[in-house]
Each structure stands twice: as structure tokens, then as C-alpha cells.
Structure 1
Amino acid sequence: MRTEVAKDSYGASVIELARRGAPVRYAGDFLVAVDHDRPTGYYETDRDGLRWREAAPFNTVQFDVAVADANDGRFVPGLTVALRAEKNGRTLAAGECLFRWHPRLHRYAVDLRLLPGRYDVTVHIGTPVFQREDHAAGRRYSDPVVLRFPNFEVCRIGAV
């Protein structure tokens, strides 16, 4: 793992995920970690204000995709992130990962229904649409990336 990524606290958190066993990969201008846990509730804004939403009872796993700048470790906002879980070349679950704010580790997350087991997980990160100002550094994130995490183990963590 490149040590300069740890300059930012977000990058240091991504490196900590790697130390805990989460797969982490560099791809283009991104440093990407994939982790999983049980589905959790979240706050969401609707027309009546901030409201707590429980995780859907039929989902069994929450995939978290942390995306940092490969050079300095900062969180990269405004991305379109999708995740697919396959076994033997067949897609068993897929979805768009939405931004989830967290006090320590912002991420893109999706709740899916999968049995415990090993899956080939593919993450697609699209080109962001936000404006960039610097003539040199502003050219970063210009290419979409696809990362494969083969043999990713999903543990029994949610109701099946």
C-alpha cells in the first residue's frame, strides 16, 4: 500500500480496512476497498424532513465500496458505483451503490440478498460529472474503471 495515501484521514481509513482483511485495489486514479456487513438502517431526507429507514428485511448483506484518490487518499465524491456478485459466471445479485455519509468512512453502499459463500464481485466506477478546476490535476478521474474481486467471501451476517 502506498504510504502517501495515508496523508488524508480517509485514505488512512481505507488502509485500515486492508489491514482488517478487506480487499483493496488501485485502479486508475482510485484506491478502492470493498467490505461487507449486515444491512443497516440509515437517515434519509424526504418532504417531511429527516427520517430513519430500517434496512429491508429481505436483504442479507450490505456491500460497502470506499473510493479514495490514489494520490492523496481523499474521498472521491459524486461517483456512479455499481456492484455485481457472480458465481460460476452467473450474476446472482447486483445493484447501484449509493453514497452513504458516515462520521469516519464515507462510502458507496448497496444492500443485496445473497447466501453465505464465495462470489466473484465486480465493481464499476463511472466517470464523475463534477467540475474540476486545476489544468493538470483536473484531468484525474477521466476514465471509468472496473475492478474484480474474485473469491470474495460473504459470511452469514443477515437473515436468510
Structure 2
Amino acid sequence: MADATGTKAHQPPARPSDEADRNQLDMAKAEGEKYLASLDYMATKVADAGGKTRAGDYIVAFAQERAEGMYHLKGGALEWVEAPETMNCHMEIAVADAADGRFVPYLDIDCVLSKDGRDVVSFKPEFLWHPGLYHYGKDLTLPDGDGTYDLSIRIAAPAFPRHDEDNGRRYGEAVEVAFTGIKVETGHE
């Protein structure tokens, strides 16, 4: 399968090994199918804009919504924090393993939203717990407001170890993805 740049993507094996038997691989695949169904729902039914593509060993997706509040741990207690009035956009990035569809945690992701060929905002989305879909995200300020934007995403090769001599050879290179012509709707939820 070719990735977003048109080059042949590495396809990790999914075969039983001394680390993962057939049942474990099947359960991982079933978990991934559920995650991808939730991801598709988020990107196409819930968000104002969304998209998905294959990139190397990953499936990378985004969803754009209006800025939103979240719980933050402050002084040992959870506190609801509304998005500041200056923020008008919430960008969500979901990254799944292309082999089994499961969410990939602990990634270093850099994003740039651009408009009319100029960079508007660069950001590093952080892990966000969500009751429906683990993802990375960030509230942003888009000074130009609503409009058509392009999103570029760079995912560094993660530093975490990979189990399994047969199945673990994945995520060895950085990947870059571009989504163009995104109709962004700004505001607050």
C-alpha cells in the first residue's frame, strides 16, 4: 500500500510469534477496527471538518471543531477550564497503527495550519483523554477566523521500545502528512 506521499509503506507482519499468538493478534485487530470506527465517526459525523490518510506505518486523521473547555488537574484536583476567549479552534489529531488500527500513544507531533500559502499557527498537540476516542489535540487562535486552511502534520519516530522481533519493526521513520482545503469553522463550544 502506498502512503500519503505515494511511496510504498512498510507493512509490519502480523504473524504469530513468541511474543504474540494468533489470538492476541486477532484481539489487537478487533480493538483496532473499533478504534477506526470511532475515528471515522469523529472525523465525519461529529467534527466540523475531518479527514484521514495512510502515512508509513500509521493511519493519520484530523478533526476540527470550535475551541472547547476541558478538565485539568490543578493542585491535586480536577478543575473545569473553559477555552480562553482568544482561542477559536480545536484541532484533533488521531494516529493509529496501519497494521492493526490501534491508537499509537506517546508520539511527538508537530502541526502547522496555513492559509493562502502562509503559516498561521504552529502547534504541538498533546494527548487528550476523550470518552469516545483517544487522540492528540489543542485549542488554537486563528486570527483570520473561518476560512480554508491547509494542515501539515509531522510525526517523529517514537523513542519507545517495540516488543516482538517478528512484528515490532515499525514506526522507525518520521512521517509527514498534508491535508489541504480544510473548511474551518471557528468559535467556542
Q: What's the TM-score once normalised by structure 2's chain length? A: 0.74
- What pairs with 1:42-121 in structure 2 (closer than 5 Å)? 42-114=70-142, 115-121=145-151
Select the residue among 142, 161, 174 that pairs with 1:144.
174
Report the Cα distance in structure 2 between the residues aligned to 1:10 and 1:45, rounded to whole angstroms. 26
Q: Who is 2:19 aligned against?
A: none
Select the residue among 38, 41, 45 that pairs with 1:16.
41
Q: For 1:45, what is the secondary structure of its paired residue?
A: strand
**Within the alignment, does 1:26 sit opposite 2:54 as a pair?**
yes
Q: What's the TM-score once normalised by structure 1's chain length? A: 0.87
Number of residue-to-residue matches in the alignment: 156
Letter in 2 for 1:15: D
- Larger Rg, first or second structure (1 or 2): 2
Cα distance per residue 1:67-121 (max 9 Å; x no partner):
1111111110001112211123211112110000111111110111121000111
Q: Who is 2:162 aligned against?
A: 132
Assess if the C-alpha contact under 8 Å between 1:122 and 1:146 holds in 2.
yes
Cα distance per residue 1:1-26 (max 9 Å; x no partner):
xxx78853112212334554621100
Letter in 2 for 1:155: E
Letter in 2 for 1:75: F
Q: For 1:56, what is the secondary structure of its paired residue?
A: coil
Greater shift after overlay, 79-88 or 114-123?
79-88
Q: For 2:94, what is the secondary structure of its paired residue?
A: strand
Report the Cα distance in structure 2 between the residues aligned to 1:102 and 1:141, rounded to whole angstroms. 24
TM-aligned CA deviation for residue 150 of structure 1: 1.0
Assess if the C-alpha contact under 8 Å between 2:52 and 2:62 holds in 1.
yes
Greater shift after overlay, 46-55 or 64-73?
46-55
Report the Cα distance in structure 2 between the residues aligned to 1:6 and 1:49, rounded to whole angstroms. 32
Report the Cα distance in structure 2 between the residues aligned to 1:84 and 1:146, rounded to whole angstroms. 11
Structure 1 residues 129 and 7: alpha-carbon distance in aligned structure 2, compared to 1, 3 A threshold: closer
Unaligned runs of 5+ in 2: 1-28
Q: For 1:119, what is the secondary structure of its paired residue?
A: strand
Q: Judging by fraction of residues, say which structure has more strand.
A: 1
Q: Who is 1:35 aligned against?
A: 63
Assess if the C-alpha contact under 8 Å between 2:64 and 2:89 holds in 1.
yes
Report the Cα distance in structure 2 between the residues aligned to 1:59 and 1:18, rounded to whole angstroms. 21
Q: For 2:133, what is the secondary structure of its paired residue?
A: coil
